[in-house]
Amino acid sequence: MESTPPPPPSVLNDNCSASYMTPYATVIAMSGLYLIVIFFFCKKSKKMCIPMSDSMYPHQKRLKQLERELKNYLIDEESIEVDDYQIGQTSDGFIFRGGVFPKTRNRFNAKVTTAVKISFPIVGKSISLLEDALRLSKLDHPNLIRLLAVSQLSFSVFRPMIALEWLPGGTLADYFIYKIREKEDSDRSPIQLKDMLSILYQVSQALKYIHSQLDEFGQELTHGRILTRNVLITEPDLKKCEVKLGDFGEAPSGLEYTTPIVAYMPPEILCCAERIPPHRPENDVWMFGVFIWECLTLGAQPHFRKSVEDIKKSFRLPDRGLSCPPTCPLDVWTLVIDCLSDPHVRPRFASTTNASITTRLSELHHIVSPALFLYPIPNQSVCTCIEHHCQSIPQY
């Protein structure tokens, strides 16, 4: 019987390869690929369906860098709740009361009440808000507002959203308005100078910490927004409340005359010919001096209804246009004038000498008599224009 010769190797390989190309294998491979595509689309569908504004493309590189550096704070947008109640507004956006839900929800880890800041629909403001969040993420001090979370969609939509620490006492500006200036004398709680010095000391501690830090260029970090509306309190009792400084970010340029912050700007910024003059630590010292005056008057508006030219003329006066409150001791007023002096002679927060602002406030707090009280000083206007109906009438 003749034996059949074995097939050549090429025929064997063709038969083996053909055996794997069955319809069943094709269906299984295509089904697996389809499931992978569906899974990827479900995971990324929200980002894929949101159109990207053309004005955001120049900032894509910086946005990716910010997203990497803030990755520990990123949460889904469903985990951030925003109430209808608006509690404030800053140069970057609106602030609402809201909350942050933990990633794993149960009855033991309920929603955390926060302040939620949403940027204006402007690309520059959106980037500024994310830069603000990055600065806060790198700072840790008991007298500074903490960053809690950043929405994941902040890097793919037009308006970023961040969650900040919530203080139930509100801002110091609201305290002056609603707890002091809008109340009758009989209903108003007396404010001791000693308690106000404690508030000022806590704010100076926060600024001392900020000025001891360095930015990405190796320069001293600054705040640039030292106002009563940016100082938050834990409760409306100045004797035992804690204070935290918020709204950390870039200071506005000297040409932004429409904002109320003009009254706090130092001469080297307000009178500068540059469009965006650099903000330095000594500029914070001037703003802190105006802040002290605002606290000593219990909420009077500095340079009330003055034009920019009037404010510039006030810089030539000995008191810089901010008169000394009647009950202010000479030692406290000397500190205010020192903060409002020329840039090269102003005291510092982070100085190791006895002349630092923090040290002087601590000493004043210990030597000031508890019998010294502060009283609200009315806003004095030099404006006599008909359209404002000012007529130099003091206004609370």
Report how far apart, in Å, the C-alpha atoms of 202 and of each of 14, 112, 159, 260, 371 are: 83, 25, 33, 24, 22
Q: How far apart are CA 321 and CA 335, in angstroms?
A: 16
Same domain, yes or no: 217 and 150: no
136, 165, 194 - which closes a domain:
165
Residue 40: inside a domain: no
Same domain, yes or no: 273 and 153: no
Q: What is the pLDDT of residue 285?
A: 96
Q: How far apart are CA 264 and CA 320, in angstroms?
A: 11
Same domain, yes or no: 328 and 239: yes
Question: 343: domain CATH number?
Answer: 1.10.510.10
DSSP code at position 305:
T
Q: How far apart are CA 69 and CA 85, in angstroms?
A: 31
Among the listed residues 296, 159, 139, 151, the one whose alpha carbon sits nearest the alpha carbon of residue 222: 139
Q: What is the pLDDT of residue 265?
A: 92
- By the 8 A CB rule, do 247 and 259 touch? no
pTM score: 0.80
Q: What is the pLDDT of residue 348?
A: 94
Runs of H (alpha helix) within the chain: 9-20, 23-49, 60-69, 123-137, 172-174, 193-211, 267-270, 281-296, 308-314, 330-339, 357-367
Q: Which residues are bridge partners to 220 per DSSP? A: 214
Residue 266: inside a domain: yes
Radius of gyration of the chain (CA): 30
Same domain, yes or no: 137 and 272: no
What are the φ/ψ torsions at residue 172 (nearest 5 degrees)? -65, -30
Residue 14: inside a domain: no
Q: How far apart are CA 112 and CA 99, in angstroms?
A: 5
Residue 383: inside a domain: no
Instruction: Go through 187-218 and write b for each residue having 16 or more CB atoms within 10 A of its CB, e for each that does not.
Output: eeeebbbbbbbbbbbbbbbbbbbbbeeeeeee
β-bridge pairing 112-119 and 231-233: unpaired
Same domain, yes or no: 186 and 155: no
Same domain, yes or no: 115 and 176: no
Residue 18: inside a domain: no
Same domain, yes or no: 191 and 334: yes
Question: 82: domain CATH number?
Answer: 3.30.200.20
The count of structural domains within the chain is 2
Same domain, yes or no: 270 and 190: yes
148, 165, 182 - which closes a domain:
165
Q: What is the pLDDT of residue 71?
A: 92
Same domain, yes or no: 93 and 194: no
Residue by residue, pLDDT tens for the chain (396 residues) are 555 665 555 544 554 444 445 777 777 777 777 777 676 666 555 444 444 444 565 678 888 899 999 999 999 888 898 988 888 777 788 889 999 987 666 555 678 889 999 988 888 888 888 988 998 999 999 999 999 999 988 887 767 899 999 898 989 999 999 999 998 888 888 999 999 999 999 999 999 999 999 877 778 889 988 999 899 999 988 998 999 998 754 444 433 434 568 899 999 998 887 777 788 899 999 999 999 999 999 999 999 989 899 999 999 999 999 999 988 999 999 999 999 999 999 999 987 766 899 999 999 999 999 999 999 998 876 555 544 444 444 444
Residue 201: inside a domain: yes
Same domain, yes or no: 241 and 366: yes
- By the 8 A CB rule, do 15 and 121 touch? no
111, 139, 165 - which closes a domain:
165
Residue 25: inside a domain: no
3 state DSSP class of 355? coil
Residue matched to tokens 């935290």:
244
Same domain, yes or no: 229 and 350: yes
Q: For residue 207, what are the domain limits?
A: 172-374
Same domain, yes or no: 206 and 327: yes
Q: How far apart are CA 14 and CA 274, in angstroms?
A: 79
The CA angle 361-367-371, to the nearest 5 degrees, is: 110
Residue 254: inside a domain: yes
